[in-house]
Chain A
């Protein structure tokens, strides 16, 4: 009798645990985040007018939780990542993260009035890595592909690379970072990232 109760309790516990942490499928995650961000941008005059602080806050809040920044940084830095100290790794990841956030934030206005075409995801049940394809339609131009490379983690699906019109963000940074590391080492790369972030942060003079 007791065993029955124990089993029932276990089964119940298992189902509630599952119910508490449902893993959102990657394509639904991308769709809901993109539509939410586009909706906020469409309704916020300050963001449309180029309010950087607000744009950055929006990205930090809505998009960032779905990125695996440590993984992205490791991929972009390449083999040199293995030789980095934990402190260097942390500063690299922080520098890269804020560079991407700032860049992303300044292109937020592009999201307005966009016509998104969310493509159906081809995914097998056991897959732990997928690519989610969203196409942006514009009159008189070929649709632009945005591809999110995502991996399944304990904390849900996370983006580890974004390809826009076939240009991979991580691959593009890889050569750039490798050049800096070859010339001035990992500390040189950290310094270059921090300098770049400062210059972007400063109000545009142009």
Chain B
């Protein structure tokens, strides 16, 4: 069923891609991307958002913090590797120290004791590492199920996914439950942000795309991207 819907969306998307002329040089596949966006958004509206709202209603804050911390702790392994690959050895060691402290003293990561100790959390992935190595963004791509990416970040995503301890967890039932739990936890954290996007945007697709591209640029530069000159008023 979902495969057929996906195939339909893909077909529509490609047809749409031919029909509309893309206006933004960063987004040459706008027609396709808009179709994928509509597909993801529909799925989000019908499945992810209701599940996340229910999770938020049922699970008290401290429990949701523990779930977030548990998955966040696992991420620190590859945050550290990516920092090292980007030449930021101190940050890399911080990430691995975080993992060690949180796993041991934070009970498998459910308590973020490392942050209380002043070891700050980072946000790294292979897409950012490729960017630091000099790879450009490439065209903007909306991937089915995964959402906004660029060509470079899609390549990063493949490695992120392949190396992800949660994805490699076995048996398969456990892996699937973990992936689902992590997704719900993350989507729940974004409930406020996604409502804000609904209310703030005239064209949600464009707003989301630009926000994603700005966000990635900021992440690549660890929060300090070179400032673009203020345009004349």
Contacts and interface: CB of A to CB of B under 8 A. Distances in A.
Interface of A: 71, 74-75, 78, 81, 99-100, 102-103, 106-107, 109-110, 129, 137, 139-143, 145, 165-168, 171-172, 175-177, 179-180, 182, 192-193, 196, 200
28 contacts: A78-B231, A81-B233, A100-B200, A103-B196, A107-B192, A107-B196, A110-B192, A137-B115, A139-B69, A139-B112, A140-B115, A142-B120, A142-B122, A166-B214, A166-B215, A166-B218, A166-B219, A168-B214, A171-B228, A172-B211, A175-B206, A176-B201, A176-B206, A176-B207, A176-B210, A177-B202, A179-B203, A196-B202
A81 B199 CA distance: 24
Interface in B78-122: 112, 115, 120-122
A142 B112 contact: no
Nearest to A100: B200
A166 B24 contact: no
Contact of B223 (A71, A137, A166, A196): A166
A109 B191 CA distance: 12
Query: At the interface, is chain B mostly helix, strand, loop or mixed?
Result: helix
Chain B's interface size range is: 35 or more
B199 A143 contact: no
Contact of A167 (B68, B214, B230): B214
Given A139-B115, A140-B115, A172-B210, 18 more contacts: A103-B199, A137-B115, A140-B69, A140-B73, A140-B121, A165-B215, A166-B217, A166-B218, A166-B225, A167-B218, A168-B214, A171-B210, A171-B228, A176-B203, A176-B206, A176-B210, A179-B23, A196-B202
The secondary-structure label for the interface of chain A is helix
Nearest to A180: B202
A175 B123 CA distance: 27
